[in-house]
Structure 1
Amino acid sequence: MRGGITDQDLEEILALCPRLYAAVGWNADKAPDWETFRACCHSQAILAPLSAGAAATIAIEDFIAAMEAQRASGELEDFREDELGRHVEAFGNVASVRSAFVAAMNGAERRGVTFAQIVRHEGRWVILSAIWDNETDEIKLPADLA
């Protein structure tokens, strides 16, 4: 064990971001899996996209509602996220994951990095907060994650 983290703990922690990314995606043949998305997160988890340049937090249910509104309106016909690489630090009942992703939205791809704070809550690992930003021409993905 490393800092009280077992191999099983590490496997569970490493699976969270890819599972979250897979759950949020949809296309004409597949709906998002919001139950899995919720199961990846603490019930009071906070998300914070920073691609607009300012931090604005959003609760899980509000995020789901916003994504569903884009899906229902046809504004976002398909959405997919996949993990490119990650780095994990963990100790006791807390972990931090830095996860690079590629997202495809209506066929256009973008890449970015998510920082997820993960906790052991009621016997399982869940995301307590996730903050992400997108790659730009000036800011590229870290070489160890790309």
Structure 2
Amino acid sequence: MVNNRSVPANIVLPHIYYDNVETSLNWLTATFGFREYYRFEQPDGQLHGALLHLDSAWVMLKNSNPSQISPAKLGYSTQTLMIFVEDIDLHYERTKLAGANIVEALNETEYGERHYVVQDIEGHHWMFSKHVRDVSPDEWGAVIASSSM
């Protein structure tokens, strides 16, 4: 994989809230190719959450609640998750064939990424990307605040 100084790929574990974890889990695995690692239930037997991954990207799905709401209830998305994949063209075609809502078509950016954005069945935005060039942020107009990288 190309290293790109403009878009570092660090390890985080986002928790994404869904009204229907089971349906969303099935959709994310079928559409994006995520693989389920484990799931856990509430005492009443309802699926409460699941941990899944796509290569080295890990995501926790959780049931929405009054303080953590799905975009399906909000009516808009508040974030975009960026997931790195090795074969971005194949991933894009798979997602399109599954009928997903493509928000931004596959394109190459000035900062060295080849990516696209898709909306899932509850309104979350997912950006799938691949580093294609190593570009220093100052090459495309960003101001570097520190040299900690």
Tell me whether the two structures share a fold, i.e. TM-score over 0.5. Answer: no
Relative to its length, the structure with more strand (as a share) is 1
Relative to its length, the structure with more helix (as a share) is 1
**Which bracket does the TM-score occupy, shorter chain normalised?**
under 0.3
Larger Rg: 2
